[in-house]
Amino acid sequence: TTGYGLIRSEAGRVMAITYGTIVTPAQLEMPLRLNQIYEELQDLLMEYKPDAVAVEEIFYHRNSKTVITVAQSRGVILMTAANAGMPVAEYTPLQVKQAVVGYGKAEKKQVQLMVQKILGLQQLPRPDDAADALAVAICHLHSYRLSFLTGSSATKAGEKR
């Protein structure tokens, strides 16, 4: 499952445009699953035309098979963004938690509650992967604002080309 979240900042308010997950059937072969992620993400980028794509960096996981699967999906996301000419920003889980909650070791539930509050959602964003994606988007927005205020030379905070 690959989460996505698109947000907008307008007149000092941050709001969710759309969020959800790209779910690939487990019985499909990996190349077909990765292609599905590519196609659905490409559709999202074409429909919403975001200013940038922000992704979470891979963190150590005890299950090496999980890390490999996540890395493959991440590669597809990075490639899809690059093909669309979008700048890509990458953030560690620690950076995301600090930006959203103010504490780098925050629990998942704390992050979800802050995402709900920041975006003015009626309920917690679900599923978890979508909530995580919204948190990464909020992190990027905060980083972009900070770089703008400090006069950083980066056009988008955290940008990697």
What pLDDT was estimated at residue 148?
A: 60
CATH number at residue 147: 3.30.420.10
Question: In sequence order, what are the residues at sequence separation of 6 or more whose Cβ sits closer than 8 angstroms to the Cβ of residue 126?
Answer: none
Report how many domains make up the chain: 1
Going by DSSP bridges, is the β-strand pair 159-160/88-91 parallel, antiparallel, or unpaired? antiparallel
Q: Which domain holds residue 84?
A: 2-160
What pLDDT was estimated at residue 146?
A: 67
> Pick from 99, 85, 77: which is nearest to 4 by CA?
77
What pLDDT was estimated at residue 50?
A: 97
**Which residues of the chain carry a pLDDT beneath 70?**
60-61, 146-161
